[in-house]
Structure 1
Amino acid sequence: MSTRQEGAGTVVEVAGDLDMSTTPRLRERLREVAEGGARVVVVDLSGVGFMDSSGLGALVVAYRDLQDRDGWLGLAGVRRSVRTVLSITSVDQVIGIFDTARDAEAAARVS
């Protein structure tokens, strides 16, 4: 997992599986980013091949946290297997999904 500034946003890049053993690190990183003042956050999931309900929960919590802070969260580079989880749970109807982090940041600017 890595974090970088891109334009006016913060990109959190995730690689590997998001499951019960790895999700706490993501949850903590997203909390740190939000508490650090980031208002536009993009989670780049291009390196994630599997995500279970704990990963899904971490994204929803981060989305709500940023919303409460007048912020924005988007997802980028979502692979088909992860997109299926987001679709089945209708999370893709709430959190925007974009091809790239740049596309997500551009969408955040217009929101």
Structure 2
Amino acid sequence: MMNLTYEVKSENEKIDVWLNGEIDVYTAPKLREALESFSERNGAQITIHLSDVGYMDSTGLGVIVGIYKNLKTHDGHLRLTGLSKRLKRLFDITGLADIMDVRSEIEGGV
């Protein structure tokens, strides 16, 4: 089991989150806990940097979708950047790339 670490930089409504590790059934609750309060702020602009995330399962996707929905409810925005080919494919297959602001490493998702 791989661990997940995160670093959050928050400046007013702009919140940057750098994740490192794997997002799975064990680490997803920690991620939800870390981001839930931010996603409930009115007008929050959250950017999640995923370039150091090697793996994400459906539990991780569920957390991301939950955060996305919370933000939408509160007039906020979620951007995912630095996705590896593997992660980008996961978002493409599930159709989430069509509704979310998803940027792969190739697309200059810095």
Which structure is higher in strand share?
2
- Structure 1 stretches (4+) deviating beyond 6 angstroms? none
2:77 aligned with 1:72: yes
2:23 aligned with 1:23: no
RMSD: 1.7
Alignment of 1:16-55 (within 5 A): 16-36=21-41, 39-55=44-60
Q: With structure 2 as the length reference, what TM-score do the two structures score?
A: 0.83
- Conservation of the 8 A alpha-carbon contact between 1:17 and 1:48: yes
Match of 1:11 among 10, 13, 16: 16
Higher RCO by CA contacts (8 Å cutoff, separation 6 or greater): 1
Letter in structure 2 aligned against 1:74: R
Structure 2 unaligned segments of length 5 or more: list them.
1-5, 104-108
- Conservation of the 8 A alpha-carbon contact between 1:10 and 1:38: no
Which structure is higher in helix share?
1
- What secondary structure sits across from 1:97 in the alignment? strand
- What secondary structure sits across from 1:49 in the alignment? strand
Aligned in 2, Cα 1:47/1:7: closer, same or farther, shift over 3 Å?
A: farther
Aligned in 2, Cα 1:24/1:5: closer, same or farther, shift over 3 Å?
A: same
Quote the residue 1:85 is aligned against: 90
- What secondary structure sits across from 1:16 in the alignment? strand
Aligned residues between the structures: 100
Match of 2:67 among 59, 62, 65: 62
Q: Percent identity?
A: 31
Q: With structure 1 as the length reference, what TM-score do the two structures score?
A: 0.82
Between 62-71 and 3-12, the greater mean CA deviation after superposition: 3-12
Residues of 2 paired with 1:72 and 1:42: CA distance?
A: 8
